[in-house]
Amino acid sequence: MNPESRTARLLGPLARDRFRRAGMVASLAVVAVAGVVSPATPAARGVTDRATAASYGGDWCRPAHHHDHRAALPGEPADGRSGCRGPRGPRGPQGATGATGAPGPMGSAGTTGPTGPQGQRGATGETGSPGTPGAAGPTGPTGPQGQTGATGATGPCVGIDAAQESEEFEIRVALTGGRTYAGIRDQRTGETQNFLWTDLSSRPDYPAGGAAGLPCDVSVNAHNRSTTVKRIKFDVITTTGQIWEAACVAFTTTHPATLNCFDRTGRPKPWILVARQPTPDAVNGGV
């Protein structure tokens, strides 16, 4: 008989029950210290079963050689044997993984939430500084020639002419600023040789526009005569093509010589439109 069974039989029923529980706790403590962790539940159950078998087993698993006066515990055989188990069999293989279950039904889409309020417009940013001017582009091709413009107004005409038919004086006629001037300069020795001018534009019938047109060029005609009265003729041609003439007399009896453009009554001699004006295709004619 082993010492455990002997010790248990020497104790009373209450002491024997405490002895068995202490043995079970000690067995579980040994298993925890030894690190039997995986799988946790079967290992703990195996240790508990062996501890229980050790507590209730021992000599109880064999037929008793002496009569045990204790009452049989519930589940124990009446012949004094305790409920012994055989050794644990090997662990069976792991079962196959079950088939994946069908996916559950998709939930219906939720309703669209209301549109949030529109944010306030931000303030306008500051105007940026002007960029640097770009490089000048290439010169484009010359455009087509434009149409000829309308003829502008006739500008002011100018002209001058001169004559000298005598050793005593010389004559000039000048057109400037729309006015006609007659000039005489004494050429005699000892005389002051300055031009003396007479404005012929103030004489009656001077062409000053309209059908007559404006003077645009001038000429002078002087004739040397032995007499002291020397006639001078001044002509202008106007912008309308008309020719007008004025007559004066050069006096050499004065010092210096002068022009007299008045008639015998002292009135200025008028401008006269010369008889017959030039006309196209005229031959010894005119209008």
pLDDT of residue 40: 41
pLDDT-derived band at 279, boundaries 50, 70, 90:
very high
Asked if residue 213 is part of any domain, the answer here is yes
- The pLDDT of residue 215 is 96
In the chain, pLDDT over 70 holds for what percent of residues?
A: 67
pLDDT at 75 over 50: yes
Confidence class of residue 282 from pLDDT cuts 50, 70 and 90? very high
The pLDDT tens digits of the residues spanning 12-53 come to 554 455 545 544 443 444 333 344 334 444 333 443 444 343
Which pLDDT score is estimated for 176? 95
What is the rounded distance in angstroms from the CA atom of residue 114 to the CA atom of residue 103? 32
Residue 106: pLDDT over 70? yes
- Residue that finishes a domain, picked among 86, 112, 127: 86
* pLDDT recorded at residue 30: 36
Residues 180 and 265 in one domain: yes
Mean pLDDT of all residues belonging to the chain:
76
Round to whole Å and give the CA distance between 205 and 194.
29
Condensed to tens digits (0 to 9), the pLDDT of residues 174-187 reads 999 999 999 999 99
Asked if the model's pLDDT at residue 86 lies above 70, the reply is yes
| pLDDT on residue 126 | 87
Verify that 255 and 169 share a domain, yes or no. Answer: yes
Q: Which of 44, 65, 86 is the last residue of a domain?
A: 86
pLDDT digits (tens, 9 = 90+) for 116-143: 888 788 888 889 889 899 899 899 899 8
Does 229 reside within a domain? yes
Last residue of a domain, one of 52, 86, 120: 86
Rounded to an integer, the average pLDDT of 148-171 is 84
User: Does the residue 57 lie in any domain?
Assistant: yes
The whole-number pLDDT of residue 41 equals: 40
Residues 68 and 171 in one domain: no
Instruction: Please report whether residue 210 resides in a domain.
Output: yes
Q: Please state the pTM of the whole predicted model.
A: 0.47
Q: Are residues 164 and 268 in the same domain?
A: yes
Tell me which residue range forms the domain holding 32.
1-86
Residues 164 and 269 in one domain: yes
Q: Looking at the domain assignment, is residue 145 inside a domain?
A: no
* Residue 130 lies inside a defined structural domain of this protein: no
Instruction: Please indicate, yes or no, if residue 119 is contained in any of the structural domains.
Output: no
Summarize pLDDT for 54-64 with one digit per residue, the tens.
444 444 445 54
Q: How many domains does the chain have?
A: 2
User: Is position 94 within any domain?
Assistant: no
| Averaged pLDDT for residues 259-282 | 93
* Confidence (pLDDT) at 71: 55
Q: Mean pLDDT throughout 145-170?
A: 84
| In the predicted structure, residue 287 carries a pLDDT above the cut 60 | yes
